[in-house]
Structure 1
Amino acid sequence: MMCFFSTYLLTCILYLAESSHFRGGIISWKPTDNHQIEINYRVAFRASSGHACDANTIENGTLLPGEGSLQCVEGCSDTITTMSYYCTDFSATEDWTSGTNSIKYNLSASSNNLFTFGFSSCCWIPLVEGSSNWRMRTTANLTVRQDTGKINSSPVSAMQPVVRFSYGCDHTLKIPVSDDDGDVVKCRWSKRTPNDECGGVCETLSGSYLDQSSCVLTYNATQSTGWYAVALQIEDFQKTTDTVPFSSVSLQFLIFVANLSESCASRPFLPQNIITDGSILHSSANKIFNESIIARSGAATLRVTAIDTVSPIGMIKSALFPFGTSGREWFVTVTWTPMKSQIGTHLFCYTAVDNLGQTSDQTCATLVVDEEPNDTVVLNQDCNAFKTPEKVHTKCIEATTGVPKIFYLATSCSSYFVQCNELGTGRIVRCAPGTEWCNHVLTCVHSGSCATEG
């Protein structure tokens, strides 16, 4: 018997009518106020099927129409929303567009304790295994938890729409997971029974092994070349020994196995970047987040041709440029000014791709958007002028007349600070190259080291 210890059990099935361009996605959720939940979904589609996206689309916040609708099909009968989404990432080489959106759903709209939302699709790519019919199902426990005193939030994950493996090589794929409640998170294969969680793409990567506790997928790519679908459930538990999850989140993506002439060791890799795998980076609403990502080719005869990302809404990625003098390293810069509506946690992932289509391991970090500190001075996007000059005088007077007196203030640009005088005049000052302002020690420190200072 399946027991969720809840007054409300929510089941989401993502339903996409008449779609043949789906590239995978994820459905997660979290509680909000007024007896509502916020359903978050990320979807990916074939770009050439009418889902074109570029840097302008992302920067302008253009809402793309998507395909089909998110429907409640069990316990209620209404259409929740059309599958429109804000594009966050795209790949011209892989021919995909990926984006995300969210919708608030009023639980009091139904008197039934079981809610089912629907999404299914078929993929135009002929799969080595499976029927190419996609189905995604997410379940959630909506009762107030005894251990936290609040409703559970589901775990979240992120994955590139297309992951490339080389034939004849051993591959290890870490599934990134995060949980706002700090729960134990496990991963398992989606199943067709007792409830159909995956349609025709259930357990279609024969010979692979999924470590459920670490969420690591290993695969010896010696079966067949071609396209495979991966359908997983990401689940959160109060304790490691628990067998009944609080919630079960659907994650699906594609793997392509290609027969290449290069050795297994020739894949590109990612040197030590500030955004490291598993790291947690903090930013504030309306503050510019700006970091570079460096990738290195796996052989002198190869070159990095792209750094693909899974980004939050509004993050801009630069063009790819050479880095250093080795001739084997390239970089992109990502820039993001999160809005107040984005306060909370966001997964950000990136992968390097070379000219043979080989990919590096995926690196994922958690970006935490905090409330804007009261003493932070907001600068314009170019960081050379105050966004609200009238407030700077007040902030400088408060800082220089307080106990202790402070003559320096943080700004929304990480490499800039404001120097105040006792007359209330503030002057924008830039830190030296390679350093950033660290407010709790009131000086510029080496970029990325502020958390270890003081």
Structure 2
Amino acid sequence: MSLSLLLLLLLVCSAQASHYYGSVMTYYPKTTNADGSMTVDLHYNLNIHCGSVFTVLTCSSNNCGTAVVHSVSKESDIFTWCQNEGLVTLQVPPNAPFQLLLSGGAWINFIRNSIGSVKAVTLVEPRNRSDTSQANRSPQTNILALVRVPSNCPRDFNLLTFDLDGDQVKCRYANSTLSECDQCTPPSVLNLSTQSCILSFSPTDSINEGPWAVQLVMEDFPTQNITLTRTDGVQTTITTNNAISQLPVQFVLRVDRAVPSCTEGLYLPKFLPPTPDNKAQLYAPVDETLEISINATANISMISDLLFSGPYNMNQTTLGAGQYILSWTPSENQTGESHPVCFVVQAVFNSVTYQSELRCVIVNVGYDPFPIPIFLGLRMKVSALFSLSEDYIIDNIVELIRAELLSQGLPSDLPLKLNFSTTAPSAVSP
């Protein structure tokens, strides 16, 4: 059965013309067979209006092979949008680059930058690299279908950019000249930093309130010239100015009416520890359940729910208002992969919805860079004009030590153990 037909059967539910909230796709080359064919796993998050029909994913260039689809559809934001999270396993005859096209249907109604039809392009590059002696792996990223910001509040959307090959990852708006979109008007309320993939929103007039379609392209560039080789021996040189692969990152930005205060923790939810930092790297051994704790507070509005996008079999548990756990158990087949997880917390006040900042983390599967506990003794002598309590040391000095360890590449969930002594300086050991 063809790839196009498989996804068509998977996603059709009922007819609705304007339904699309965006999509994100990434891929992993898995194995190269003796006959030169290759297995490639394509991960997708497809966001649509709940209960709607969607388009098809077709092979638009070269041979994309045959496909097997695994998918889970869930209500991510009830009565608004649902997310189809899935995995397409492709059996590709040669390990040559090929292009997948997501098209058909239309974005949701009332898009401010006048974008109607849906088009998203993924360029899969599975050839072997001369610098890693492995098939190229795409950047890893994710985003929610709908992110919100009040019209009077500045906010940066610092997109996740993670690449297992160590490539430089850049973002740009989709280009109609390159046939990456049918209508390619960027949202005027956002400024994009192509080098860092940061979308910056500045306070704007109420006339700009409403939904905006964001159509980005994420690409990986080698840090030195490399050679890509097919199984039949054909080689291509890629310079630092050439993108290797290409991913679509599409979503809706909704500019809401002004909020009385932009200070986090009042109307806008504020994250609290132990919520992982944005772009934190977490580690999940195969067949063991990883739990990500997320805490948030809002003193004036009422926290209503957590929205997240991650692996298709990730589960959410609500412990109480503003307290959540995301749990996921990776399988043996996912060893060596890295999976992005993005989330926001929502709150409501007088029927108005507010979102926290967007945070995304990377979950590395099957290995731990610190499998053996590291005991690093840091002896400190602290002079002060007043007596220092243990609480003061924990709240101030230890956090300075943690920040320094993180800057040296240690994971964000690294535990710190304190040993206090009345006759010697305090010692801190991870």
State how far apart, in whole Å, the 2-side matches of 1:196 and 1:268 are. Answer: 39
Partner residue, 1:247: 245
Counterpart among 142, 145, 151 of residue 126 in structure 2: 142
Question: Is the counterpart of residue 345 in structure 1 residue 338 in structure 2?
Answer: yes
Question: Is the counterpart of residue 196 in structure 1 residue 179 in structure 2?
Answer: yes
Counterpart among 350, 353, 362 of residue 366 in structure 1: 362
| 1:172 partner SS | strand
Counterpart among 84, 100, 103 of residue 88 in structure 2: 103
User: Aligned letter for 2:346?
Assistant: V
| 1:118 partner SS | strand
State how far apart, in whole Å, the 2-side matches of 1:289 and 1:77 are. Answer: 34
State how far apart, in whole Å, the 1-side matches of 2:187 and 2:290 are. Answer: 38
Partner residue, 2:200: 218
CA 90–198 in structure 1, closer or farther in 2 if over 3 Å, else same: same
Question: Is the counterpart of residue 32 in structure 1 residue 36 in structure 2?
Answer: no
Question: Is the counterpart of residue 334 in structure 1 residue 326 in structure 2?
Answer: yes
State how far apart, in whole Å, the 2-side matches of 1:238 and 1:257 are. Answer: 36
Counterpart among 113, 116, 124 of residue 99 in structure 2: 116
State how far apart, in whole Å, the 2-side matches of 1:142 and 1:225 are. Answer: 42
How do 1:278-289 and structure 2 match up within 5 A? 278-289=279-290
Question: Is the counterpart of residue 46 in structure 1 residue 64 in structure 2?
Answer: no
CA shift digits 1:142-174 (9 cap, x unpaired): 332111112211102110100112113322111
Shift of 1:232: 0.6
| 1:256 partner SS | strand
How do 1:241-390 and structure 2 match up within 5 A? 242-265=240-263, 266-297=267-298, 300-319=299-318, 321-322=320-321, 330-343=322-335, 344-355=337-348, 356-370=352-366
Shift of 1:255: 0.8
CA 81–104 in structure 1, closer or farther in 2 if over 3 Å, else same: closer
Q: Is residue 89–residue 309 contact of structure 1 (8 Å, CA) maintained in 2?
A: no
| 1:270 partner SS | strand
State how far apart, in whole Å, the 2-side matches of 1:255 and 1:345 are. Answer: 26
| 1:147 partner SS | coil
Q: Is residue 88–residue 315 contact of structure 1 (8 Å, CA) maintained in 2?
A: no
User: Aligned letter for 1:349?
Assistant: C
CA 282–89 in structure 1, closer or farther in 2 if over 3 Å, else same: farther
CA shift digits 1:252-278 (9 cap, x unpaired): 000111113422334212123252222
User: What is the TM-score normalised by the length of structure 1?
Assistant: 0.67
Counterpart among 54, 65, 75 of residue 67 in structure 1: 54
State how far apart, in whole Å, the 1-side matches of 2:189 and 2:312 are. Answer: 36
Shift of 1:88: 6.1
Partner residue, 1:449: 415
State how far apart, in whole Å, the 2-side matches of 1:342 and 1:142 are. Answer: 17
Shift of 1:247: 0.9
Shift of 1:336: 2.2
Shift of 1:87: 3.2
CA 140–291 in structure 1, closer or farther in 2 if over 3 Å, else same: closer
State how far apart, in whole Å, the 1-side matches of 2:167 and 2:75 are. Answer: 29
State how far apart, in whole Å, the 1-side matches of 2:163 and 2:175 are. Answer: 23
| 2:93 partner SS | helix
Partner residue, 1:85: 71
CA 315–453 in structure 1, closer or farther in 2 if over 3 Å, else same: farther
CA 368–23 in structure 1, closer or farther in 2 if over 3 Å, else same: same
Q: Is residue 172–residue 194 contact of structure 2 (8 Å, CA) maintained in 1?
A: yes
State how far apart, in whole Å, the 1-side matches of 2:130 and 2:64 are. Answer: 31
Shift of 1:357: 1.3
| 1:253 partner SS | strand
Question: Is the counterpart of residue 238 in structure 1 residue 236 in structure 2?
Answer: no
Question: Is the counterpart of residue 152 in structure 1 residue 143 in structure 2?
Answer: no
Partner residue, 1:444: none
Shift of 1:293: 0.9
State how far apart, in whole Å, the 2-side matches of 1:88 and 1:147 are. Answer: 40
User: Aligned letter for 2:132?
Assistant: T
User: Aligned letter for 1:67?
Assistant: F
State how far apart, in whole Å, the 1-side matches of 2:355 and 2:281 are. Answer: 24
User: Aligned letter for 1:161?
Assistant: A
State how far apart, in whole Å, the 1-side matches of 2:182 and 2:151 are. Answer: 27
Query: Over the residues paired in the alignment, what is the CA RMSD in angstroms?
Result: 3.1
CA 285–78 in structure 1, closer or farther in 2 if over 3 Å, else same: closer
- The 10-residue stretch of structure 1 (266-275 or 153-162) with the greater mean CA deviation from structure 2: 266-275
Give the number of aligned pairs: 339
| 1:341 partner SS | helix
Shift of 1:314: 2.0
